[in-house]
Structure 1
């Protein structure tokens, strides 16, 4: 038991060292029932956390889970089960004071539904993405129609095809509730051995330079760096422990999305 805990502690330190060096993250450890530790993640200068690292004795392999905001986690969990999702962790208190349940979509991609805690007005961030912060997400799927149908039924997502991404058969911006895009849905069916995934996208000022740093820190590059026809640059990588993430920098002022 002590050995397992030591390995988990080493894994936490490795994650902190990698992302702290690469993206300037800072960390705050908080107690949470059922876990050794839960460590909140902050982008440089941010007032509020953008996620966390959970260590649990019951956990299996290391995974990434993106969270979708929910007004009622219990009701959404029941509804999502009816749409074919599998409950991995039932609704429970989250370390940040909110509530969270972890599920898999019908194709096995992990995600969470999360009710945010009440935050004092003084703690609010500006809403402008900071360098190193989570500013987009990406779901890759080898069955684009099945994934589109599930997430439309699950969360009312709509999709606007982005023809500026030329390296994939289909890429769409995800627009929850008709709002501006907050993520992307990528058709990976043409890639050999493609597996579905959900990955965070972190904004950086210079993707090629950050990729070079990431490789020196032990990351592996899956795709890119490459640019869309309107100048957004991105690359998809895995960190030294195999967790997938994406780096991107927006187009320069005046460029238009196709």
Structure 2
């Protein structure tokens, strides 16, 4: 088990139309964008106010030919990318992209858990910690949600690999149990559930904070996105929606009514 709970540290969109995707998320969430400045790499940094929260890049042609589709992927901070990637495979997972360096930024590997949900393992070149962000701050990530083939088996895997612990569990009736999880601290940072049969593969879904869910829902549709579910209220009083951006990447929003 990891010595301390591992946390999500970055979020990345791989898309077929970077400029259009940048415009969509600016209109819906308010992110600003800036080129990464990494030589030879077309990579855009997304900011909530002045804070970088994630990145955006074109989905590689080789990945498209192998059937990959636009989507978001989360980065989890680890102490040793190579060792953690190897541990994923020993526990039944896979390595999609072998460990590699990003000059001046850090080392990463793209992996899949034993049920097929993808994540990126990351070790930053700098040990600097980001400043804490108030809960619900617009533009930041408010929730992380795993839609697994087997929720209990998925939680056991991540508890062992990342040191995550269980929070409350909510009975959602025919949809099963929704298990909250923590990465240190008292507050849950996400939830896990057994995916609906209609969903073809397991995946991680990320919820971005907005100042008002109703205004954001209108912005999604005005910018060419599609709302799949919501807005509806969740425990705690916030409202959520799930949708597709114009390129087909699934995303979710969370915030108060308004």
Structure with the largest fraction of strand: 2
Give deviations 1:211-242, integer Å, cap 9, x for gaps.
Answer: 12102212122221111244221111111111
Q: 2:99 aligns with which of 91, 98, 103?
A: 91
Q: Distance in 1 between matches of 2:230 and 2:211?
A: 16
Residue 222 of structure 1 corresponds to 228
Q: 1:245 aligns with which of 243, 248, 251?
A: 251
Decide whether the 8 Å contact of 1:100 with 1:114 is kept in 2: yes
> Cα distance, 1:31 vs. partner?
4.9
Q: Distance in 2 between matches of 1:87 and 1:115?
A: 16
Give deviations 1:179-225, integer Å, cap 9, x for gaps.
Answer: 53222212334x53453111211111221321121022121222211
Q: Distance in 2 between matches of 1:177 and 1:42?
A: 25
Q: Distance in 2 between matches of 1:117 and 1:64?
A: 23
Flag the 1:14–1:65 CA change in 2: closer, same or farther, 3 A: same
Q: Which moved more, 1:142-151 or 1:163-172?
A: 163-172
Matches within 5 A, 1:91-170: 91-94=99-102, 97-118=105-126, 124-129=130-135, 130-163=137-170, 168-170=175-177
Residue 50 of structure 1 corresponds to 53
Give deviations 1:5-61, integer Å, cap 9, x for gaps.
Answer: xxx99711011110011111111223557x751111111x233x2111233444323
Alignment of 1:29 onto 2:26: no
Q: Distance in 1 between matches of 2:15 and 2:202?
A: 29
Q: Which moved more, 1:69-78 or 1:208-217?
A: 208-217
Aligned residue pairs: how many? 238
Q: Distance in 2 between matches of 1:163 and 1:118?
A: 39
Decide whether the 8 Å contact of 2:101 with 2:108 is kept in 1: yes
SS at match of 1:146: helix
Residue 78 of structure 1 corresponds to 86
Q: Distance in 1 between matches of 2:21 and 2:170?
A: 35
SS at match of 2:17: helix
TM-score, structure 1 length as denominator? 0.81
Residue 26 of structure 2 corresponds to 20
Q: Which moved more, 1:23-32 or 1:131-140?
A: 23-32
Q: Distance in 1 between matches of 2:117 and 2:144?
A: 13
Q: 2:191 aligns with which of 177, 181, 184?
A: 184
Decide whether the 8 Å contact of 1:165 with 1:229 is kept in 2: no
Decide whether the 8 Å contact of 1:165 with 1:228 is kept in 2: no
Q: Distance in 2 between matches of 1:64 and 1:221?
A: 17
TM-score, structure 2 length as denominator? 0.81
Higher RCO structure, 1 or 2 (CA under 8 Å, sep 6+): 2
CA-based RMSD of the aligned residues comes to 2.8
> Cα distance, 1:153 vs. partner?
2.1
